Amino acid sequence: MADVAAILAGGPAFSALVASLLQPDDAVRSQAETVFEALKQHPDALVSNFLVALRQSPDVEHRQFSAIMLRKVCAREIARPDRCPNLSIGSNAPAQVLTKDDPPLWAKCNTATQVR
C-alpha cells in the first residue's frame, strides 16, 4: 500500500486504496483499513478524493463505495464539529457545489447510504 501522502494526493493511489477496502481477502482489506484510519486525520483530502471518485471512477462499485464513505466523512466532520473539528470551512465547498450543481448525484449519495 502506498504511503499516506501519495494516497492523499489522489489519483491511482487513492483508487487502489478504494479497491483494497472492497477486497474480500481479509489481509488486504485489513491493511487498507489501517491506512484509512491514518487518512481520517485529513478529512479535507478525503472529501475531495471521494468526490472525485464518485464523479469519475469507471467502476460502479467504487462510485457506490465513495458515496457511502463521503457521507460518513461529512457526517462525522461537519455535523459534529465539536467532536471532530478537522474539516476546514473551505472543504464544505465541494459538498455545496455538489448539492447545487448536481442534485441527482447528491440524492443518489443520500439514498445509497440510508439504512433500510
Whether the predicted model's global pTM rises above the 0.75 cut: no
Helices (H), 1-116: 4-8, 12-21, 26-39, 43-56, 60-78, 92-101, 103-112
**Cβ contacts of residue 1 below 8 Å, gap of 6+?**
7, 16, 17, 20, 31, 32, 35
Please compute the mean of the pLDDT values over residues 88-114 and round it to a whole number. 49
Q: Which residue has the cell 483499513?
A: 33
Mean pLDDT over each residue of the chain, to the nearest integer: 76
Instruction: Summarize the confidence of residues 93-112 as an average pLDDT.
Output: 49
Q: Using one digit for the tens of pLDDT, what is the confidence trace for 67-96? A: 999 888 877 766 555 544 555 544 444 444
Place of cell 471532530: 84
Q: In total, how many domains does the chain have? A: 1
82 lies in which domain range?
A: 4-112
pLDDT recorded at residue 79:
56
Residue 110 · residue 74 · CB < 8 Å: no
Q: Classify residue 5 by burial, with Cβ atoms within 10 Å: 0-12, 13-18, 19+.
A: exposed
